[in-house]
Amino acid sequence: MANTISIRRAIAKASTEPDVIAAVRKWKNKRGSLIMVLHEIQNARGYVPRDVSLYLAEELEVPLARIYEALTFYHYFKLEAPGKAVISVCTGTACYLKGSPALVDEFVKETGAEVGSSTPDKLFHLQCVRCVGCCGLAPVVNVNGKTYGKLTPADIKKIVHEWRERFAGEIAPEEAHPIADES
Ligand code: FES
């Protein structure tokens, strides 16, 4: 019973995350939709979280076992986060033109992580990703499924501080809730 509740909670959480919604909306009912959605999530997050897989199984009507078959068959997919807080800065065209390179510089400065790598304590992992499907919010950053939009370099310090605080309080990434995208 407790297990069922935690699965329902995980599915409910994933169903509200803008990058997941955008990927499902884009690919649902198209040929090869499962792999394409998994690619989008891997691209946006740096890995495919369990709660997202649970949600996709339900939403795409695909057995969970088939999703994990695909995730473990292709080396491209990762099941674990490369850092506790995975910072994905969108450098797709819309975000790039609205200033995402300056956001990347600021994250490097604030976290000490280079693009594509993690801090030595594995608290932060920084990566640049292609369009995550929320261009109206450009420039966009996703941290563990939480989407931040219309950012300026001045916002970055606060985001880094927020995630430092979360892990200082030992809140697991699975409990992070998306807030910023209300579109
Ligand atoms: S280009 Fe960044 S969300 Fe589309």
Residue 171 has pLDDT above 70, yes or no: no
Instruction: Yes or no: say if 50 and 13 are a contact pair by the CB < 8 Å rule.
Output: no
| Of 142, 177, 119, residue with least CA distance to 43 | 142
pLDDT at 9: 85
- CATH code for 85-175? 3.40.30.10
Q: Where are the domains of the chain?
A: 2-73, 85-175
Mutation test of ligand 1: which of 17, 128, 131, 141 has the most ligand atoms closer than 8 Å to its C-beta? 131
Q: Is the peptide bond before 139 cis (omega within 30 degrees of 0)?
A: yes
Virtual torsion, Cα 10, 165, 86, 127, nearest 10 deg? 150
Q: What separation, in Å, do the N-terminal and C-terminal C-alpha atoms of the chain show?
A: 34
Looking at residue 99, what DSSP letter applies? Answer: T
How confident is residue 170, by pLDDT bands cut at 50, 70 and 90?
A: low
Mean pLDDT for the stretch of residues 67-86: 91
- 177: pLDDT confidence band, cut at 50, 70 and 90? very low
Measured from CB, residues less than 6 Å from any atom of ligand 1 are 90, 92-95, 131-135, 138, 140
Q: Is the pLDDT of residue 174 over 60?
A: no
